[in-house]
Amino acid sequence: MDRIGVRALGLRHYAQVFAAMKSRIDSDPEHSPDEIWALQHHPVYTQGQAGRVEHVLAPGDIPVVAADRGGQVTYHGPGQLVFYPLIQLRRRGLDVRQLVSALEVSVIAWLAELGIAAATKPRAPGVYVDDAKIASLGLRIRRGRSYHGLAVNVAMDLAPFARINPCGYAGLRMTQVADLLPAAQIPGLEVAQRSLLDQLARRLGYTGWDYLGDEGIASDGIDTVAAASEGASDER
């Protein structure tokens, strides 16, 4: 069975996960198995390689971390589901555009299951509901392997997005699942994470996915915080 392993890492600091991804990529990119890391981040702004300082308007007490992914500045925080596909593209028969499409289509299909109509935009990676962005993408290919990935706004505080120009666009509206559905229909974060993983595995050409431990990740210095998928993840 061609299944992909998933590491559900809970709530983690961005800089430490970033370092762990790079370490994993450098270790043995050709032969190490493909994985998806599924998690949430403590509040942080990340500035991509195309980022400009003028798009970080008023970060205040939220740290700004430079990342080697594509794209410009974005915000991560609790209630936003993040997925990092660490995939050897050639082994999967994928190119970068196909990977981006698979990530976007996964989100669109999941939102459709919830009754939310979403779409992509030309020359503006991500997923949108009308003109508001609900999912952001930023990738890096290094030694033939992808890292960084996808962030989906589910039930989070969107206010910090107003302190930046998201993705380099002044006035870009952000939205989330919690603002688009009646309260009784908003999925808990654990349910949402599992459903999105189902979509991601399918669109990336796997027959399914299996949870892995976090061996080799916590030892890289990542603090272990109560996993969002183990309780707090069901808050709405």
Q: What is the pLDDT of residues 109-158, one digit of tens each?
A: 999 999 999 999 998 899 999 999 999 999 999 989 999 999 999 999 99
Percent of the chain having pLDDT more than 90? 81
Q: How confident is the model at residue 169 (pLDDT cuts 50, 70, 90)?
A: confident
pLDDT at 29 > cutoff 80:
no
CATH superfamily for 3-226 is: Bira Bifunctional Protein; Domain 2 (3.30.930.10)
Residue 201 gets which letter from DSSP? H
167 noted as active-site residue: yes
Predicted TM-score (pTM) of the model is: 0.90
187 burial type by CB count under 10 A (0-12 exposed, 13-18 middle, 19+ buried): buried
Q: How confident is the model at residue 58 (pLDDT cuts 50, 70, 90)?
A: very high
Pairing status of strand 80-86 against strand 73-76: unpaired
CA distance 17 to 222: 7
Q: Which amino acid does the sequence have at 5? A: G
The sign of the CA dihedral 233, 224, 21, 37 is negative
pLDDT at 220 > cutoff 70:
no
Task: Provide, for the chain, the percentages of residues in helix, strand and coil under a 3-state DSSP scheme, each rounded to the nearest 5.
Answer: 35, 30, 35
Report domain extents, the chain: 3-226
Q: What average pLDDT does the chain have? A: 90
Exactly one of 108, 167, 174, 201 is catalytic; which is it?
Answer: 167
